[in-house]
Amino acid sequence: MESKPATRAKNKYNAKAYDRIALQVYKGERDKLRAHAEARGESLNGFINRAIRETLERDNARNED
C-alpha cells in the first residue's frame, strides 16, 4: 500500500502533467471498450487516446487533399 506522501506526490504530478476529460458512454459500452482495449494489450485510457490521435491524423490528412 502506498503512503499518503507518495499519493500526494503522484496527484501533484498528474495535476501538472495531464488535462482531464470526462467521457460519458451508454450503459454497457464501457465494458465493451475495455474488453476491446485489453484484447489488444492496451488500457482503456490508452485505447481512447490512440483512437483520438488516429482520428485527428486521418481528418487532417483529408484536409490536406
Which pTM was predicted? 0.76
Burial profile 5-22: b = 16 or more Cβ within 10 angstroms, e = fewer: eeeeeeeeeeeeeeeeee
pLDDT in tens, 18-50: 999 999 999 999 999 999 999 999 999 999 999
pLDDT in tens, 3-17: 899 999 999 999 999
**Whether pLDDT at 57 is above 80:** yes
